[in-house]
Amino acid sequence: MTADTTERLFSYGTLQQPQVQLSTFGRRLEGRPDALTGWRLEWVRITDPAVIAASGSDRHPILVAGGPDDAVEGTVFLITPAELAAADDYEVDDYRRVEAQLRAGGTAWVYVKA
């Protein structure tokens, strides 16, 4: 992948799981730890059978806006635009993709509460 063909994706939940990566992207992703400040986690019940099968759970974390002292730890992955589209397909309608500021600097795509 080159700089003009990569996207940064921040994951705090199931997209960090190897089995979800394999079923969604066809490969294991390599990433680095980071965090988003000003966000906190809640939980959502998933009903999509394919997502439940891939993740092994019907209960998934979901990001909601928080206060200045809130932060959510996760992983930043470099992925292709096609893989970003695959991540969009994996995420259910409870989520929407936004660009967010990373604690370490720069931005990444992340899925938050719709």
45-50: which pairs have CB atoms within 8 A and are 24 or more residues apart? 46/92, 46/94, 47/92, 48/92
Q: Which residue has the higher pLDDT, 38 or 2?
A: 38
Helix axes 81-90, 18-25, angle to 10 degrees: 110
Please name every residue paired with 7 in a beta bridge, in sequence order, or none if there are none. 79
CA neighbours closer than 13 Å in the CB half-sphere of residue 102:
19
Percent of the chain with pLDDT over 70: 96
Q: Is 0.85 surpassed by the pTM of this model?
A: yes
Q: How far apart are CA 77 and CA 25, in angstroms?
A: 12
pLDDT band, residue 2 (cuts 50/70/90) = low
Instruction: Tell me the pLDDT tens digit for each residue of 29-76.
Output: 999 999 999 999 999 999 999 999 999 999 999 999 999 999 999 999
Q: Tell me: pLDDT of 11 over 80.
A: yes
**Position 36, amino acid:** L
